[in-house]
């Protein structure tokens, strides 16, 4: 098969797959997680059900793939926030993006799809849990790295290992899901940062 033809086919497959994931999100936002069917996802995508089955064996695998895509995008946003910020503000920038994401997803009609414990029974057989564990490890590693940089700069306390502080930050910032405004999220980030700042 010519290389250009092969690349065109692969591009088409990715486009169809992404469209199916977007359609699944639309169906679930409209009907709920438990009511989603392959037929409705295919219809919303604009493809036949047989075509959809070439990409996903069942609704559970669609949910797992959608969640994996969302998590990957979120991790990329955090990495981007870190790269764009000044060295002295990298940790603060990443904490704020992470917290804002928690608040936004709590407001979303798709919130059930973004909570691993809510979809475990529908997607664990498709590797969903493994991806969630990997993503969490990636988050911990990123936060640990940024905190370590601030420890070296003499800004963050050094009496507690950076990885433990990273876990603290992740759990504390999950409270953003209950907040009503971006300003409240910013205040939460300020409190979390104060908790890990070195006392002089």
- Domain of 35, CATH number, reads 1.10.10.60
Of the residues 39, 56, 73, which one is the last residue of a structural domain? 56
pLDDT at residue 145 greater than cutoff 50: yes
pLDDT at residue 122 greater than cutoff 50: no
Q: For 200, which DSSP code?
A: -
Residues 143 and 102 in one domain: yes
Residues 69 and 148 in one domain: yes
Residues 176 and 151 in one domain: yes
pLDDT at residue 123 greater than cutoff 80: no
Supply 143's token pair.
Answer: 């936060």
CB 26 within 8 A of CB 88: no
Q: What b-and-e string marks burial along 85-110, b requiring 16 or more CB atoms within 10 Å of the CB?
A: beeeebbbbbbbbbbbbbbebeeeeb
Q: In the prediction, which pLDDT does 125 show?
A: 47
The Cα–Cα gap between 60 and 106 comes to 21
Q: Which of 12-21, 103-112, 113-122 has the highest mean pLDDT?
A: 12-21
Percent share of the chain, pLDDT over 70: 82
Residues 75 and 148 in one domain: yes
Residues 24 and 38 in one domain: yes
Residues 157 and 64 in one domain: yes
Q: How do residues 157-192 score in pLDDT, each as one tens digit?
A: 999 999 999 999 999 999 998 898 999 999 999 999
Of the residues 34, 56, 78, which one is the last residue of a structural domain? 56
Residues 78 and 107 in one domain: yes
CB 124 within 8 A of CB 118: no
- HEC string of 3-24 equals HHHHHHHHHHHHHHHHHHHHHH
Residues 45 and 111 in one domain: no
The Cα–Cα gap between 40 and 25 comes to 11
Of the residues 23, 41, 56, which one is the last residue of a structural domain? 56
Q: Decide: pTM greater than 0.85.
A: no
Nearest 5°: CA angle at 121, between 137 and 62? 75
Residues 34 and 81 in one domain: no
Residue with more model confidence, 93 or 134? 93
**Which one, of 142, 151, 132, 65, lies nearest residue 97 by Cα?**
142
Number of domains in the chain: 2
Residues 30 and 112 in one domain: no
Domain span holding position 38 = 1-56
Residues 80 and 177 in one domain: yes
4 CB-near residues (< 8 Å, 6+ apart) = none
Beta-bridge partners for 197: 156
Residues 33 and 69 in one domain: no
Residue written as tokens 């290992």? 161
Q: Which pLDDT band, with edges at 50, 70 and 90, does 131 fall under? A: low
Instruction: Determine the 3-state secondary structure of 197 from DSSP.
Output: strand
- CATH number, domain with residue 132: 1.10.357.10
Q: How do residues 58-101 score in pLDDT, each as one tens digit?
A: 999 998 898 888 888 889 999 999 999 999 999 999 999 999 98
């Amino acid at each position: 098969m010519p290389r250009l033809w092969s690349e065109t086919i692969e591009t088409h497959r990715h486009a169809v797959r992404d469209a199916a994931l977007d359609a699944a999100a639309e169906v679930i936002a409209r009907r709920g997680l438990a009511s989603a069917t392959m037929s409705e996802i295919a219809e919303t995508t604009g493809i036949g059900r047989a075509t959809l089955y070439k990409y996903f064996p069942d609704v559970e695998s669609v949910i797992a793939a959608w969640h994996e895509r969302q998590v990957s995008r979120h991790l990329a946003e955090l990495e981007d926030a870190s790269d764009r910020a000044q060295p002295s503000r990298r940790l603060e920038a990443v904490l704020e993006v992470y917290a804002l994401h928690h608040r936004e997803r709590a407001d979303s009609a798709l919130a059930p799809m973004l909570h691993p414990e809510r979809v475990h029974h529908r997607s664990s057989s498709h590797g969903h849990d493994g991806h969630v564990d990997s993503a969490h490890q990636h988050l911990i590693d990123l936060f640990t790295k940024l905190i370590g940089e601030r420890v070296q700069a003499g800004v963050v306390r050094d009496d507690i290992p950076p990885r433990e502080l990273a876990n603290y930050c992740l759990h504390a910032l999950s409270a953003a899901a209950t907040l009503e405004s971006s300003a409240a999220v910013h205040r939460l980030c300020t409190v979390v940062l104060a908790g890990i700042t070195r006392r002089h």
